[in-house]
Amino acid sequence: MTLEKAPPGVDPLTPSVARMYDYFLGGKDHFAVDREAAEAINAISPDAKELARANREFLGRAVRHLIDQGVRQFLDIGAGLPTRDNVHEVALRHAPDCRVVYVDNDPMVLVHARAILADNPHTVVAEGDLREPAWILGDPDVRAHLDFTQPVAVLMVAVLHFVTDDEEARRHVAGFRDALAPGSHLVISHMSPGEAFGDDLTAGKEIYSKSSAGGLAFRTHDEVLSLFDGFTLAEPGLVEIADWRPDDPVARALTTSSSGAIGLAGVGRLDS
């Protein structure tokens, strides 16, 4: 896409984490500035693309698990640019009565998602920021589409690491948790330092500090676990994304980047 084709309201001069992720996934919705930033990440971590794909596969497995748990409503926050196997596509394949709300704060995501999903009665696209739970939960379109007296799965997949302050991240997750009915679920995947050494992580953070997200936090296992406060984790707990209920445990996808950083993933259930 050329700069001239940037939709109104879209900044083609600042790397967008949504468009960088689209580039990693082999999509077409990115500008030169996004490709440059993504390639700079690739230089530190040449398997960033595989990590992105493994993250999408985890998302698909998590949605299937939620369907098995009887969940039919999904609030996907930081949904990203539409790609293959979006949440509603996976969900509807297994249960035809699912409803999905896609929320994102990136204007390009909103333009594309609305264009693609305008006529789909199962989906709603809402502009919103993870850091404003009350705004999202009070959005009339969100409330018209989802019944919060019934279980809702809140998906925060590869997005919470863009909220760099630990206390703030916990507070925002709790803001959603407190609005949910028993039987609701929380899905998180999150970048973690793993065995990585300082320099690569610092260089990666530096690149993301200049992006639309303004920063990136690598959280430890315990720090990510604390985001599930109030939820009971489904087996196998909080693990590397490829180890979360793999379809084929033998052909394990790669999740540890060559920088040593890893993606952690878990699904929690709210009991009461």
Ligand X SMILES: C[S@@+](CC[C@H](N)C(=O)[O-])C[C@H]1O[C@@H](n2cnc3c(N)ncnc32)[C@H](O)[C@@H]1O
Please select the residue that binds ligand X; options are 63, 109, 126, 242, rule is CB under 6 A.
Answer: 109
- Under the criterion CB under 6 A, does residue 157 sit at the interface with ligand X? yes
The least CB distance from residue 272 to ligand X, in Å, is 28
Three-state DSSP string of the chain: CCHHHCCCCCCCCCCCHHHHHHHHCCCCCCCHHHHHHHHHHHHHCCCHHHHHHHHHHHHHHHHHHHHHCCCCEEEEECCCCCCCCCHHHHHHHHCCCCEEEEEECCHHHHHHHHHHHCCCCCEEEEECCCCCHHHHHHCHHHHHHCCCCCCCEEEEECCHHHCCCHHHHHHHHHHHHCCCCCCCEEEEEEEECCCCCHHHHHHHHHHHHCCCCCCCCCCCHHHHHHCCCCEEECCCCCEEHHHCCCCCCCCCCCCECCCCCEEEEEEEEECC
Q: Is 55 an interacting residue with respect to ligand X (CB under 6 A)?
A: yes
Choices 40-48, 105-113, 218-226, 248-256; region in contact with ligand X by CB under 6 A: 105-113
Please tell me whether residue 54 binds ligand X under the rule CB under 6 A: no
Q: Which of 105, 123, 184, 256 binds ligand X (CB under 6 A)?
A: 105
Q: Does 106 bind ligand X (CB under 6 A)?
A: yes
Binding residues for ligand X, how many (CB under 6 A)? 22
170-209 residues in contact with ligand X (CB under 6 A) are none
Residues within window 117-146 making contact with ligand X, judged by CB under 6 A:
129-131
Q: How far is the CB of 129 from ligand X (least distance, A)?
A: 4
Interacting residue ranges for ligand X, rule: CB under 6 A: 17-18, 21, 55-56, 59, 77-80, 104-106, 109, 129-131, 157-159, 162, 213
